[in-house]
Structure formats: structure tokens, C-alpha cells
Amino acid sequence: MKWIPQEVETYLNAKEYVDTAVVPLYSVSVGGEMKQSAAAAEFITLLTSHLERQFTGRIVLFPPFTYLKNDSTEKVFNELHNWESSIFQSEFKHVFYITSEIEWRESSEKLKGSLIWLPAIPLEQMSDSQKLTIIDSQVKQLLTLFTQKWHENM
């Protein structure tokens, strides 16, 4: 479910079925790396929205967790940790973070949720149908990852 009032209402009525939160992680940089930052964000946005389409009935797609790239790692991590504890305090059993920032891989063990790191594919030169095929194949791979995780806790 998307982060819009109608769908959040559906979520509130069907809480027992929706047990997974998906949080995209974006880093924002200004200046020279602005473009890479935007490209990575585009990729993650498309991917997560497609993922939401596949798993509408089981996940809530959260608004992205956004931070400044040159902020200290510790500060950013603590902030995300806060998000995580509040999400788990509500009725979510699984949290997935989706990012293309390599830095997160180091701290993935310290998180209770699962971190999915994907290298950003530059999509700007592609036609819409090409984008769709690429994102679709990525989502297919994530599909198994998600179902595995759900099976573990059954």
C-alpha cells in the first residue's frame, strides 16, 4: 500500500494481513554529485513503486528516509534506528530497506530489518518500455527474497 490516505485506511482495516514495511533510503548530495544522487533516487523510486504494485496487499511503502550524503554516518544511522524502533513498535513484523548506497552494507547487521542493496542502474537514456523490463526483472528477483523472508517466520 502506498503512503496515501485511502490506502493507509485499507491498511488500518486489514492490519493482520499487512505485516511488512518497505523503506527506501535516499542520500542527497548537492554540488558535483547532484546528478548521480538524482539518478539513484529515480531508480529506487521506480523500483519500490513497482514492488509495491506486486505486493500491494502485504507491504506498506513508506515515504523515503532521506539524509544528506556528507552527514556523519553515526548520526544518519541513529536516525534510521529511530525509524526502525517506531515501525516495529506498531504492528509490523518485517522491515525492508531498499537502497543503492554502498555505505549501508556495513551497518546492515546492526539493523533488525533486512537491508537490500542494489547498484543503481542509470535509467535516463532508456525508453519507458526498457525501463519497465529492467525494473520488472529486478522486482522478480526481489520477489523470491521477500517470500523467503516471509516463509522463515511462519
Partner 1 sequence: MSKERVSRRQFLSYTLTGVGGFMAAGMLMPMVRFAVDPVLKTEGAGNFIATKQKVSEITDEPVRVDFTFKQKDAWYESEVTNTAWVYKNGDKIVALSPTCKHLGCTVNWNTDKEHPNQFFCPCHYGRYTKDGTNIKGTPPLHPLDVYPYKEKDGFLYLGKAEPRKEA
Catalog residues that contact partner 1 under the rule CB under 8 A.
Answer: 10, 14, 17-18, 53-58, 128, 132, 143, 146-147
Contacts of 149 (CB under 8 A, 6+ apart): 94, 96, 114
CB of 69 to partner 1, least distance (A): 28
Closest approach of Cβ 152 to partner 1, in Å? 15
In the bound state with partner 1, the residue whose beta carbon lies nearer, of 18 and 80, is 18
Residue 87 to residues 83, 100, 109, Cα–Cα distance (Å): 6, 22, 18
**Nearer to partner 1 (CB atom), residue 13 or residue 86:** 13
Cβ proximity of 103 and 26 under 8 Å = no
Nearer to partner 1, 56 or 107 (CB): 56
Which of 126, 143 has the CB closer to partner 1? 143
Minimum distance of partner 1 from residue 143's CB (angstroms): 6
What does the DSSP assignment read for 4-72?
SHHHHHHHHHTTTT--EEEEEEEEE--GGGHHHHHHHHHHHHHHHHHHHHHTTTTEEEPPPEEEETTS-
- Min CB(117)–partner 1 separation in Å: 22
